[in-house]
Chain A
Amino acid sequence: MSDGLSGYNFAYLDEQTKRMIRRALLKAVAIPGYQVPFAGREMPLPYGWGTGGIQVTAAVIAPGDVLKVIDQGADDTTNAVSIRRFFSRTAGVATTTRTADATLIQTRHRIPERPLTEAQIIVYQVPIPEPLRWMEPRESETKKMHALLEYGVMQVKLYEDIAHLGRITTSYDYPVRVNGHYIMSPSPIPRFDNPKMNQMAALQLFGAGREKRIYAVPPYTRVESLDFDDYPFEIQRWDQHCALCGASDSYLDEMVTDDHGGRLFICSDTDYCGERRAAGHRGDTDLPANPAPRTAP
């Protein structure tokens, strides 16, 4: 600990703060999808950069955990690197980029492609925990709406999309109903990932630091994406497959390869892509050769 963090407790937070967060977490698990207010602390990373997820991870993490941190599905994005370093320094835990090896996964904006197990906990970083925020900015009102299950505005919002555009256009942070009761923000994951939340074997914890809310989805819990009988929920699909590993079942990132409309599609989940390539799967492009330009549709 030559970096000046030696004076801090295990996993940075003091024990009293951890107890406060742990009590909030237990209530969150007992009330699936309900946002539990907690006295979020200032963290040495900025608000909006994962302080909620970091506080949840810090309260949960044990010396024997193996931590994986992803941002946009990737382990090597700068903010994921920064958060992983934070816990290596303050908790001294083992870290991994392999989804299969992790016991604790902190994520921003994705759920790994590999199904999670009972031996794992996934912690989501949440910017705006309130799914009704865009329809009603007041906390005092949204609290009542949740208490009374007054969710008509959400259905109206989705229906207006259909009326104007012929489909529901919410493509990420797509609202879900948990255990048939509360409507919940899944955090800004693409709706491609929504179905993974349903009946997941792993515990799902959500931390919103700036908004000071913690919520949870227990394992084996019903998580339904809101929709209509005649406009059922559907996930994103690509005509392309991953240029590196050839996967056609994963969420793809689009990369602009030149200024003539060249595009390359690759797995957003870098571990999934790497595992497939290690198993011999190949896409059209050899890493890191220059891709052939494609024309955008």
Chain B
Amino acid sequence: MTADIDALRPGFENPAPDANAVFRTVLTGFSYPGRILALPIAIAAPPRLNATAAAVLLALADLDAPVWLTADVDTAPLRSWLQFHCGCPLTALREEAVFAVANPDAFGAVDGLAEFAPGRAESPETSTTVIVQVADLRADGAVRLSGPGIAAPRSLAAPPLSPAFWAVLRDNHARFPQGIDVILAAPDRMVCLPRTTLTEG
């Protein structure tokens, strides 16, 4: 019953322009990796998702884009909400996911990050886009970013992510053209990290 009530929490207020605004933010994010971008719309987030992660799924997931949810996010109310608003299949297999929502663990690592679909050599676009929910995003961190879209190297802090996370991302970068793409979702802002971005530090 609670599941049904949660499913009725609103999605986008104005579907076409809101979806566009969120998409354009993500597009800008992947175009200029490391740039901290404000979530452009207000949205009532469903349980266990922050507003940014919720908005990205609303804008981009649908019946052609299976979503994987990490265990501490995967609840009946959230499932109802996603199925009601996105109509997306929920998959238990990381390698099947077009989008995935993951949380850092107590050590600031994301468990199983390397097991999401990296795409195939002949079709590297069939890779998972992993949305990692973080507490905050600031430009004053120890992580240095470089690569396409970055005119001069940037710095980033993304608590609670730890060096273990960045090490996995560095290996991911080395697999180019295969590899996952990552959206770091803080409650009111995001940073996008395509596989082309080299993360150091």
Q: In the complex, A touching B, CB below 8 Å?
A: yes
**A residues touching B (Cβ–Cβ < 8 Å)?**
9-10, 15-16, 18-20, 22-32, 34, 36-37, 59-63, 118, 143-144, 146-148, 179, 181-182, 201, 203, 218-222
What are the residues of chain B within 8 A of A201 when measuring CB–CB? 151
Closest chain B residue, CB of each to CB of A33: B177
Tell which of B89-97, B105-113, B123-131, B159-167 binds the partner. Answer: B123-131
Assess A27 versus B60: contact at CB under 8 Å? Given A36-B125, A60-B27, A220-B150: no
B30, A31: Cβ atoms under 8 Å? no
Closest chain B residue, CB of each to CB of A201: B151
What are the residues of chain B within 8 A of A118 when measuring CB–CB? 32
Distance between Cα atoms of A143 and B150 in the complex (Å): 29
B30, A29: Cβ atoms under 8 Å? yes
B177, A221: Cβ atoms under 8 Å? no
Size bracket, chain B contacts: 35 or more
Distance between Cα atoms of A219 and B12 in the complex (Å): 30
Tell which of B1-9, B15-23, B76-84 binds the partner. Answer: B15-23
What are the residues of chain B within 8 A of A144 when measuring CB–CB? 122
Q: A143-B123, A221-B148 given. 5 additional CB < 8 A pairs?
A: A19-B64, A26-B26, A37-B125, A143-B122, A221-B149
Interface string of B160-201 (1 = CB under 8 A from A): 000000000000000011000100000000000011100000
What are the residues of chain A within 8 A of B60 when measuring CB–CB? 19, 22-23, 26
**Of the residues B15, B16, B127, B176, contact of A27 by C-beta under 8 Å:** B127
A23, B65: Cβ atoms under 8 Å? yes
A24, B16: Cβ atoms under 8 Å? no
Distance between Cα atoms of A59 and B27 in the complex (Å): 11
Determine whether B121 belongs to the interface, using a CB cutoff of 8 Å to chain A. yes
